[in-house]
Amino acid sequence: MLNMAVRAARAAGDIIVRAMDRVDLLNITTKSRNDFASDVDRQAELEITGILQKAYPGHAVLGEEHGFKGPESSDFVWVIDPLDGTTNFLHGFPQFAVSIALFHRGKVERGVVYDPVKQELFTAVRGAGATLNNRRIRVTPQKGLTGALLGTGIPFKDQSYLDAYLGMLKSLLKDAAGIRRAGSAALDLAYVAAGRLDGFWEIGLNQWDMAAGVLLIQEAGGLVSDLEGGDRYFENGSIVCANPKLHGPMLDLIKPHLTKELRQASA
Ligand code: IPD
Ligand code: CA
Ligand code: CA
């Protein structure tokens, strides 16, 4: 099943790369404020779901652009973000990826994140580790925030939690060596797994942004939680991840900024 996910991710990556130099000709729709989708997002998703549903007719798929399809009762659900980092893609900023995860009875079992520009393929299989272009990857051994390079996502759609977010940013900035906002959550998570970032946090994500990356990090020896340290990140869309030594110190600086709404979302 991992091989099939890789095949689907590469096929979608080809569609994305072919469209890169004619972005101005694309049909772009605004789904909500600052949330865009183009023909490329839609075509890439149809390519992925076509490949997966042909191979596994009994499995369901949940894609960002076309929603849920397939048998409601299936134990297997493929969760797909055909193009994570659409805003980057539309601006010619070369940081975006395809993200595909396979859930079995609610647990992520396979994860693939593919960067078609750098041709970097991140894969994870539950219990069998994580790889980048077939080489094993691990999270960093970074002990605390001093000297740490963190990734994040700055709120740009729903800004109701902007003040809380800025409080977290301020606290983490004081100690960290640097903070990056690269614009593709799936790749940010893959970078934590590969030891390129020491940690990452973001509020307001969807399952398709996170699912493959979460398994990559867990299989690379890292910890993933929501803002309160719990495991409801797929439900509430907030995520904090890092190696086991840095995860606690990050949470300690994040938690004091949680509002009642953010706490309720975690409860
Ligand atoms: C977005 C990217 C971005 C994150 C947003 C996501 P999209 O996904 O992952 O980094 O900050 O929250 O929605 O819309 O480009 O697939
Ligand atoms: Ca996304
Ligand atoms: Ca997307």
Cβ–ligand 1 contact at 249 (below 6 Å): no
Residue pLDDT tens, the chain, 267 long: 999 999 999 999 999 999 998 888 878 888 777 777 789 999 999 999 999 999 999 999 999 999 999 899 999 999 999 999 999 999 999 999 999 999 999 999 999 999 999 999 999 999 999 999 999 999 999 999 999 999 999 998 888 889 999 999 999 999 999 999 999 999 999 999 999 999 999 999 999 999 999 999 999 999 999 999 999 999 999 999 999 999 999 999 999 999 988 887 776
Q: Which two tokens stand for residue 223?
A: 């910890």
For 149-266, the fitting CATH number among 3.40.50.720, 3.40.190.80, 3.40.50.300, 3.30.1490.20 is 3.40.190.80
Mutational test site, ligand 1, from 34, 84, 236, max ligand atoms within 8 Å of CB: 84
Q: Which pLDDT score is estimated for 22?
A: 86
Domain spans in the chain, listed from the N-terminal domain onward:
2-136, 149-266
Ligand 3: centre distance to CA 191 (Å):
18
Ligand 2: centre distance to CA 190 (Å):
13
Ligand 2: centre distance to CA 210 (Å):
8
Predicted TM-score of the model (pTM): 0.96
Q: Which pLDDT score is estimated for 135?
A: 98
Ligand 1: centre distance to CA 105 (Å):
26
Q: Write out the DSSP string of the chain.
A: -HHHHHHHHHHHHHHHHHHGGGGGGS-EEEEETTEEEEHHHHHHHHHHHHHHHHH-TTSEEEETTTEEES-TT-SEEEEEEEEE-HHHHHTT-S--EEEEEEEETTEEEEEEEEETTTTEEEEEETTTEEEETTEE-------SSTT-EEEE----S--TTHHHHHHHHHHHHHHSSEEE--S-HHHHHHHHHTTSSSEEEESS--HHHHHHHHHHHHHTT-EEE-TTS-S-HHHH--EEEE-HHHHHHHHHHHGGG--HHHHHHH-
Q: What is the rounded CA–CA span in Å between residue 242 and residue 248?
A: 9
Q: Which residue owns the Cα nearest ligand 1 atom 12?
A: 205
Cβ–ligand 1 contact at 63 (below 6 Å): no
Q: Which pLDDT score is estimated for 41?
A: 95
Atom of ligand 1 nearest to the CA of 186: 9
Cβ–ligand 1 contact at 84 (below 6 Å): yes
Cβ–ligand 1 contact at 185 (below 6 Å): yes
CATH fold of 2-136 reads Fructose-1,6-Bisphosphatase; Chain A, domain 1 (3.30.540)
Mutational test site, ligand 1, from 205, 208, 236, max ligand atoms within 8 Å of CB: 205
Mutational test site, ligand 1, from 65, 169, 209, max ligand atoms within 8 Å of CB: 209
Ligand 1: centre distance to CA 254 (Å):
21
